Amino acid sequence: MPIKIDHAYTFIDKTDWGDGPWQTESDKLQWVDEATGLDCLLVRTPMSGHLCGYVGVPEDHLLFGEDYDNVDVDVHGGLTFSGRCREGQEETGICHIPQPGRPDQVWWFGFDAAHAWDVRPEADALLASYGLSSFPHDPATEYRTVSSMQAECTRLAAQLQQRSDPTWPNMPTLTYLMLRATSRALGPLHCEYTEEDVEYRCPTQIPEGTDFEIVMQGGTNREFWCLGHPDERTPLDR
């Protein structure tokens, strides 16, 4: 089903970017996700040419005010932004014009299409003018179009709406596992943790019988730490 766009803006001169879908696309779109009722934006970055997607949650949402790095969702490239509307950017940036009856204050979670193998038309055109290429002869490169980024916004909105439930198991996103090295064999022990068939090993050794923690920090890129002592934070090898 086509998405009903509430506001569309074109404000970037793409004359030097070469041919591509970006030439006929808008530079900013605003709409309301039909399934969740959350506000959505697409905004193009002038200095690179790629699109960024944003979904806003209202003030009564559990994730309002949360840093993006603490929100574990599946979206292209992972979350790279969180924050309020940037006043004065209603037509060009991360800010929306509320529809009648819609919330004025929302907290945006954003992602971008400037990751590995993403085509960035302005930046790539600039490199080409010097005879260079971001991805020479790589067929895996892809420009993330308006339609593909809208689909990612839809996926993100569904996940954020799910996390508005106070019983959602990933709230909070910082989990501590207290384990004990129970072996009484002579010599130090290795700290290990297995999750989804992936084993994490502490590169340092923990004395036998010592309590230790494995800390899982939520977010797109979780960090795992093994704490043998209060002042020791050693990254686990994956």
Three-state SS for 51-104 is EEEEEEEECCCCCCCCCHHHCCCCCCCCCCEEECCCCCCCCCCCCCCCCCCCCC
| DSSP conformational letter for 142 | B
pLDDT greater than 60 at residue 158: yes
Higher-confidence position of 12 and 236: 12
| Calpha distance 114→51 (Å, rounded) | 8
Look up the pTM and report it. Answer: 0.69
pLDDT greater than 70 at residue 91: yes
Residue 161 neighbours by CB under 8 Å, 6+ apart = 35, 36, 38
How sure is the predictor about 109, in pLDDT bands with cuts at 50, 70 and 90?
very high
For the stretch 180-207, pLDDT in tens is 333 333 334 344 444 444 444 444 444 5
Q: Strand, coil or helix: what is 223?
A: strand
Mean pLDDT of 60-75: 93
Q: How many residues does the chain have?
A: 238
Mean pLDDT in the chain? 76
Neighbours of 103 (CB within 10 A): 17
Say if CB 64 and CB 105 are below 8 A apart: no
Tokens at residue 230, please?
């209060």
Q: Domain limits of the chain?
A: 5-162, 174-235
